[in-house]
């Protein structure tokens, strides 16, 4: 009988050690994503200041919007002379994928009340990617929360650092920081050009933007290219 209890205790210890190892593994994967992605927030902070936003406005964009592509779209449209309506429309279109992510993950997380609001805020490419890469539901939930909160913390810290650094320069344009927004968009786009269809779509988007720019208000070319990508992606 004593041997049986000892066997059960050993099994419990093994199970506990295995769960602890899995948790550390998920945490390590989450930090490996969160830290490099978060540091990119410095580029947004600098770009936002170069586009005429204040440090407070820049930090609020990261805290409340918290979507890299959408944030760069907002400051890019405003910097180009577009209206707030155009900036919001572009940002909203780029953020529609996050709503689709939420639909995919809702059955897994099974959240209610304020927890659902918190989860919606950190539903981003990275938190979804790490979550779906895990082997079981418990680890998927850990991957989602660890990565989402990790990116949120580092992104906002580096946004503040980038904004303060750009503000300290005095005239960001004199240092070439006014090119930060298009450079950042190129950095977001380039890794996704992984097949022929992506290159063709990018070419059509460039032609569309160039043909519309002389004739329509600032921001409309970006909205048009976003709609083109959504239509092509939906048909796919």
Mean pLDDT, residues 145-152 taken together: 94
The per-residue pLDDT for range 6-56, each reduced to its tens digit, is 544 554 454 444 556 678 888 998 898 888 888 888 888 988 888 889 999
Contacts of 145 (CB under 8 A, 6+ apart): 122, 127
Mean pLDDT, residues 121-150 taken together: 89
**pTM value > 0.75:** no
pLDDT value at residue 17: 47
pLDDT class for 62, splitting at 50, 70, 90? very high
Cα-Cα-Cα-Cα dihedral sign, residues 228, 201, 79, 50 = positive
CA distance 111 to 100: 16
pLDDT value at residue 224: 77
Return the SS3 of 149: helix
The per-residue pLDDT for range 159-195, each reduced to its tens digit, is 999 999 888 876 655 555 555 556 655 665 666 677 7
Q: Which range among 44-48, 105-109, 144-148 has the greatest average pLDDT? A: 144-148
pLDDT value at residue 219: 65
Mean pLDDT, residues 216-233 taken together: 72
Cα-Cα-Cα-Cα dihedral sign, residues 208, 210, 214, 218 = positive
Q: In 3D, which of 82, 80, 72 has the Cα closest to residue 48? A: 72
The answer on pLDDT for 157 being more than 80 is yes
Cβ burial 73-97 (10 Å sphere, 16+ → b, else e) = bbbbbbbbebeeebbebbbebbbeb
The answer on pLDDT for 66 being more than 90 is yes
112 in Cβ contact with 95 (< 8 Å): no
pLDDT value at residue 19: 59
Q: Which range among 49-53, 76-80, 227-231 has the greatest average pLDDT? A: 49-53
How many alpha carbons lie under 13 Å from residue 139 in its C-beta half-sphere?
Answer: 20
pLDDT class for 70, splitting at 50, 70, 90? confident
CA distance 47 to 77: 12
Residues in the chain: 236
pLDDT class for 59, splitting at 50, 70, 90? very high
pLDDT value at residue 163: 92
CA distance 27 to 228: 37
The answer on pLDDT for 127 being more than 60 is yes
pLDDT value at residue 178: 55
pLDDT value at residue 65: 92
């Amino acid at each position: 009988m004593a041997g049986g209890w000892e066997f059960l205790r050993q099994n419990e210890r093994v199970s506990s050690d295995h769960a602890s190892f899995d948790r550390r593994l998920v945490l390590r994967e989450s930090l490996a994503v969160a830290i490099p992605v978060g540091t990119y927030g410095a580029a947004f902070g600098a770009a936002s200041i170069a586009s005429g936003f204040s440090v407070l406005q820049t930090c609020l964009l990261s805290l409340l919007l918290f979507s890299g592509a959408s944030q760069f779209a907002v400051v890019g449209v405003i910097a180009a002379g577009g209206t707030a309506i155009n900036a919001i429309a572009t940002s909203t279109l780029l953020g529609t994928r996050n709503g689709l992510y939420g639909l995919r993950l809702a059955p897994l997380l099974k959240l209610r009340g304020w927890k659902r609001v918190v989860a919606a805020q950190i539903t981003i490419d990275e938190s979804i990617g790490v979550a779906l890469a895990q082997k079981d539901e418990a680890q998927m939930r850990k991957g989602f929360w660890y990565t989402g909160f990790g990116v949120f913390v580092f992104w906002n810290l580096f946004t503040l650092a980038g904004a303060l650094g750009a503000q300290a320069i005095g005239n960001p344009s004199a240092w070439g920081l006014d090119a930060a927004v298009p450079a950042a968009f190129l950095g977001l786009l380039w890794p996704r050009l992984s097949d022929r269809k992506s290159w063709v779509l990018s070419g059509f988007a460039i032609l569309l933007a160039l043909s519309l720019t002389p004739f329509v208000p600032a921001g409309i070319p970006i909205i048009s290219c976003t709609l083109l990508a959504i239509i092509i992606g939906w048909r796919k």
